[in-house]
Amino acid sequence: MSGADLSVQVGTLTLKNPVLTASGTFGYALEYDDFFDVTELGGICTKGLSLLPRAGNRPDRIAETAAGMLNAIGLANVGVEAFCTEKLPKLRQRGVTVIANIFATTIPDFVTLAERLDREEGVAAVELNVSCPNVDKGGLEFGVDPGAAGRVTAAVRKATKLPVWVKMSPEAGDLRGVGIACQEAGADALTAINTIRGLSVDVRTWKPRIANRTGGLSGPALKPIALRMVWELARAVNIPVIGIGGVATADDVIEFMLAGATAVQVGTASFADPLAAKKALDGLASYCGERGIAARDLIGKMAAA
């Protein structure tokens, strides 16, 4: 790796580089031990954690679509307690920068989750999932309404000393309004975007291809929309925006940063190639090294048309 300075500042948190992995696409990071040293990454976002373990939706949960995929996993996860006792100690020992993604259906439960994680060493930030499209209750409602998004952010802000990131829904009619509300409520950063709800139907059986009927669209198909939203959001708020949506390569990372992202999350690409995030990071290092620039020099530097 070249000597370029890749570090970026997300509020009070310094990340060694801007390449993170997205919640729900990287497990609890321990699954990658066979593939590469995940401490090289800027950080990892855990699978969405809830107060109690969740089994998730019935199958089928995934379906591939053109240059993308739909998923309706239903936030299957081990629960915050098992995460803290079984996963986090190993991540802490390895020195992984851990962003704990949390999910709840009520504000008090979000608060309880944040308080629980606040007691643990080795959590760098919490990311509020207020934008999951695949659960009956509590997913999208918080994320599409500026008032509700602000209330949940403010409540979590009071409950923890950890940096608070809020994951934006692309389905918010007023994305900038939601982002500004979160910023005013004390969010340290905004993650944009979560998946967009889609549908795919099997023409042989006439059934939806996933049991939940609709699922969240991710992958390269999402990227231009995500870029546009990151660009709009970054100009509307003063806090860092973490770009996500179809990031698979170093070029994608650079594109998101030029559009205004301070860091990025690699998601679905890790399914196709478990080394995708590392390859993107190595490519970013070469790009910056060759140009004699620091990664942070890219942020928001998209030129005039």
Judged by CB under 8 A, the residue of 34, 93, 137, 303 near another protein is 34
Give whole-number Cα distances, 80 to 68, 116, 216, 296, in Å. Answer: 30, 8, 23, 33
- Among 101, 273, 230, 31, CA closest to 283: 273
Smallest separation (angstroms) from another protein to the CB of 89: 14
Judged by CB under 8 A, the residue of 13, 73, 99, 107 near another protein is 73
Binding characters for another protein, 260-299, by CB under 8 A (x = yes): --------x-xxxxxx------------------------
- The verdict on whether 132 is a catalytic residue reads yes
Which DSSP symbol is given to 87?
A: I
Residue 59 touches another protein, criterion: CB under 8 A: yes
Nearer to another protein, 262 or 268 (CB): 268
- Among 290, 288, 250, 240, CA closest to 99: 240
Pairing of strands 125-129, 196-199: unpaired
Smallest separation (angstroms) from another protein to the CB of 285: 20
Nearer to another protein, 107 or 248 (CB): 248
Binding characters for another protein, 191-220, by CB under 8 A (x = yes): -----------x-xx-x--xx-------xx
Which residue of the set 84, 132, 182, 288 is catalytic? 132
Binding characters for another protein, 74-93, by CB under 8 A (x = yes): --x-----------------
Backbone angles phi, psi at 40, to 5 degrees: -65, -25
Number of residues that bind another protein (CB under 8 A): 43
Smallest separation (angstroms) from another protein to the CB of 282: 15
Measure the CA–CA gap between 19 and 22, rounded to whole angstroms: 10
Residue 17 touches another protein, criterion: CB under 8 A: no
40 touches 187 (CB < 8 A): no
Measure the CA–CA gap between 302 and 305, rounded to whole angstroms: 9
Give whole-number Cα distances, 72 to 60, 186, 242, in Å. Answer: 8, 30, 23
Measured on CA atoms in the order 275, 278, 280, 285, is the torsion positive or negative? Answer: negative
Binding positions for another protein, rule: CB under 8 A? 24-27, 30-35, 47, 55-56, 58-64, 66-69, 71, 73, 76, 202, 204-205, 207, 210-211, 219-221, 268, 270-275
Catalytic positions: 132
